[in-house]
Amino acid sequence: MNKTFFLGVAASVALSGSALCGEALRPPAMHVLPDGAIQARAWLRHQLELQRDGLTGHAEELYDDIGNSDWLTGAGRGGQYAWERGPYYAKGLVALALALDDAALKAKAKRWVDAILASQRPNGDFGPRERNWWANMIALWLVRDWCAATDDPRVPPFLERYFAFQAQELQRYTLVDESKWAMARGADELDVVLWLHARTGKRELEAFARLLSGQIADWSTFYHRGGDPSKAGCRSHIVNFMQGIKAPPLQWRVNGDPRHRNAYAAAFAPDGWIMTSYGRPDRMVNGSEPLSSRNASEATELCAIAERILSNLVALSTWGDASIGDDLETVAYNTLPATLGADGRGMRYYNILNLPYCVDGRYGFVNNGEKVGSLCPGPHSGFGCCRSNFHFAWPKFVQSLWMQTADGGLAATAYGPCTVTAVAGGTQVTVEETGSYPFGPDVKLTFRAGAATFPLKLRIPGWCRAPRVTVNGAAVADVKPGSFCTVARAWKPGDEVALHFPMEVTVSGGWDRDAAVVTRGPLLYALKLAYEDKVVESYEVPFEKRTAGDLNGFPRREIRAAEPWNHALVLNARGGIDAEVVTREIPLHPFDPAAAPVSLKVKTFRSDFGGWGHTRDILTARAVEPPPSPIAIEGDVQTRELVPMGATQVRIVLFPWARESDK
C-alpha cells in the first residue's frame, strides 16, 4: 500500500472539510485519520497481534455464520447469515488489517469489501436482503474505512447510489419500519454520509443527512432526562445506549440543535440519572442487556464496550473535549482487556467488576444469564453478536490516539506507544510516541520526519493535578488539567516533547453501598487473586444446538478464585489509602495476569460481614454485594497486592472499607 498517497488524500479531504461542509453542515473540531495512519508499537501492537493470531484471524473457520455468510458467499441461507454478524466481523477485520498493515489480513478484508460492492443492485440497494437498513449500516462503515485508507475509487459511487436509493425509500419505509435497531443506531450511517459529503461536497447529501438524522432515536433527550427504562424500548438496551452516544454530535453537525451539545456530558455526569442508577467507575454503564443497576456484580456487554470506544472516537473528533479522551482511555485500558481472554483466543459476553468466578453457572441476568458461558472466556460466550462485533475495539482505539485539527495541526487525543504519519502544516510528518503511560506517568513524542509549522495540541488528563510539558527541555506554560495544551511552532526532525502526568493513588467511594475503588492515573486497580484455570472439554454452543470442545486451540475456560476474596480496604485518617507503588519493566503483554508492570501494596482485612465473600443463595455464580461501608475492622490487617483491572481474569474492583480507627 502506498501510504504517502493515501495519507495525502485523507489529509486534503480533512483539511478542506470545513469549506466543503457549507452553511448547512457544521465542521468537526478535529478530523479522524484513516485506519493505518497510526501504527501501534510495543505492547499496544501486541494486542492487535493477539487478535490477528487469535479470534479475528480465525473467525471464518470458527463461526459458520461468518465463514459462510450470505454477505460473502451470496448463498441465500438467510437468518443470521444475512444479518449483522458477517459485516460486524468484516468491520473489525478491515480495521485490524489496516492498523497492522498486514498483507494477509488485508487480502482477507478485501474479499469482504469486493463482495459487498459487487452485491449492489441496479436500484442502488445492496446486500443479501432488500432494505436491510441496520445490517447495511455496518457494511457502509467498513467500506468507508477501506476507502479512507486505500482511496478505492469504487466506494464513493457505490455510496452515492445507495444514499440516492434510500432518499426515496426512507420516505415510505423508515428506519423504525425496518427495525428499532436501525432507528437506535442510525448515527452509524450518518457518520458515513457526512464523510462522503466532506469528500464530494455534493449538496444532495446535505438533504439526505437531514432526512436520515430526523429518523434516528432522540438520544439527546434520553441522556438528559431519561425515564423508565422499561418504557424506553430500544434506548434501554446497553449496546444501543453506547452506539447512541455518537448520534448527538453528528446530529448537531446537521442541525445545530443546542440540546445535542451537552448530551455526552449529561449521559456520563457523576450526578446524572444514568450514572447514579447504572454507572460504574470504569465509565461504563451496567446493562445485561437492558440497563440494570449499579451493583458490583452486575454486568455490561462486550459489544457495548467496543461501541463505547467507537462512539467516543466520533464524539471526541466532533467536540474536541479532553474529558471524552479521558473516558476513552479508561474503557480501553481497563474494561476491554478485562473482558477478553488474556491469550487472544477467547472473549466474554459480559464484564463484571467483582468477578471471583468465571463459570457456566447462574448469574440471573435478563439475557444470557445462565448456561451460555457468558462469563467464560472462549470462542463461544453468550449470544453470537459479541464474538462477531468486538474485533474493531482495539484497532479503533489505536485510530483514536491522534487526529488532525481544523487549523492544520495535529492533536494527541489519547496516549499509547505508536507512530503517526499525517499531513500537518501542509507537510507530511511522522511522530513517534513512547513512554510508560498508562502504567506510568511519562510520554515522549519525537519528530522523526517532515519539517513544518503547525499547532500541536496535547490532551492533558483531567485526573492529573500537576501536569508538566517540555519542548526540547524548555517548559511549556499554562498546562491545565482537563484541556488541550497547544504548542504552535516550527517543528523539525529530532524535536522532542516530554509530557509528565504525575499519578496519585486515590480511593473514591460513592458507588453502590458506598463501595470504594482504587485508581492511579487512568487505571483502576483490582485485588490480585490466585486462580484455577480449567479447560472445558465439552460444552453446548449457545443457541446453536450443538456441542463443542477445544476448537483447534480455541477452548472455553472456567476460571475460579483459588483463595478467599472477601477483602476490605483500610483507609487512613484522611480518608485516603496508603499504598506502595511497585513498578516493573513493561512487558510485551502487560495485561497478562502473571506479568502486570505495576502493582499497589495496600492494607486490607478479611470480613464476612453481610455475607461478603460468598455467592448468592440462588444465583450461585454471582458474588454477594459488598456490605454497606464503612464497616468495622475484623481480625488482622494484612498487606495485599492490587494490580490493573485489565490484567485480571478474576477480580474484586469495588471494595467495602473501614477506617484505621474502626477496629
Determine the Cα–Cα distance for residues 3 and 421; give it in Å rounded to an integer.
Answer: 9
DSSP state of 279: B
610 within 8 A of 657, measured Cβ to Cβ? no
Pairing of strands 657-659, 567-571: parallel
Residues of the chain with CATH 2.60.420: 402-435+441-500
Look at residue 545 in the predicted model and tell me its pLDDT.
81
Per the omega criterion (within 30 degrees of 0), is the bond before 438 cis?
yes
Which residues of the chain fall below pLDDT 50? 1-23, 230
Give the angle 211-214-218 at the CA atoms, nearest 5°.
Answer: 160
- As a whole number of angstroms, the distance between CA 185 and CA 202 comes to 24
Residue type, 37: A
Of 344, 306, 428, which Cα lies nearest the Cα of 46?
344
Segment (H or E) for 241: helix 238-243
342 vs 437: CA distance, rounded Å: 20
CATH architecture, domain defined by 402-435+441-500:
Sandwich (2.60)
Give me 385's grid cell. 453478536
pLDDT value for 600: 99
Q: Residue 227 has what pLDDT?
A: 60
Coil/strand/helix, residue 590 = coil
* Cα–Cα dist 318/321, whole Å: 8
Strand-pairing partners, residue 487, are 456
Q: How many helices (H) and strands (E) does the chain have?
A: 24, 27
Phi first, then psi: what are they for 321, rounded to 5°?
-95, 120
| pTM of the predicted protein model | 0.95
Q: By the 8 A CB rule, do 415 and 433 touch?
A: yes
Retrieve residue 266's grid coordinates: 449529561
Three-class DSSP category at 305:
helix
Give the Cβ contact number of residue 5 at 10 Å.
11
CA-CA-CA-CA torsion sign (160, 161, 162, 167): positive
CA–CA dist 613, 507 (Å, integer): 21
Q: What confidence tens digit (pLDDT) does each residue in 375-427 have? A: 999 999 999 999 999 999 999 999 999 999 999 999 999 999 999 999 999 99
